[in-house]
Amino acid sequence: MLRLLNLLAILLLSSSCLANNSQDELTIIYSNDLMGELEPCG
């Protein structure tokens, strides 16, 4: 199930990745098949 709450990690990661993207490298953060799951039920 989704840990959207924890996707602050993405923000931090993408910030650092963008900062580290050099002329010669590309960093991609990728996801798939979230299937509409937002939070654990209980």
Partner 1 sequence: MLLDAGNLLFAQDRQSELLQQDIITAKGIYEIYEQFGYQAIGVGPYDLTAGLAPLLELSGGVPWVSSNIVTKKGDYIFQPWLLIDLGQHTIAIIALTGAPRKMSDDYQLLDWRESLARVLAQISSDADVTILLSSLELNVNKQIAEHFTDIDLVFTANRRGGNRPPKLLGEALVSQVQSRGRYLGVLTVPTGKDYLKTAYQNPDGFRHRLIALHPSLEKSEPIDRKIVEIQKEISKVGKRAKFQPVRNTELELAPKAPGSTTLMSHESCVDCHQETVANWIRSPHGQSYQALLDKKQQYNLRCLPCHVTGPDNSAVPYSQETLLRKPDNRLLRLDADLLAVSCIACHRGAGLHAETNGELRYLEDVTAELCISCHSSERNPEFKFVEMTAQLPCKR
Which of the residues 2 through 41 are near partner 1 (CB under 8 A)? 2-11, 13-14, 17, 21, 23-41
CA 27/CA 20 separation, integer angstroms: 8
**Could you tell me the smallest distance in angstroms from the CB atom of residue 16 to partner 1?**
10
**Could you tell me the smallest distance in angstroms from the CB atom of residue 23 to partner 1?**
6
CA 41/CA 29 separation, integer angstroms: 27
Phi, psi of 39 (to 5 degrees): -150, 150
List residues binding partner 1 (CB under 8 A): 1-11, 13-14, 17, 21, 23-42
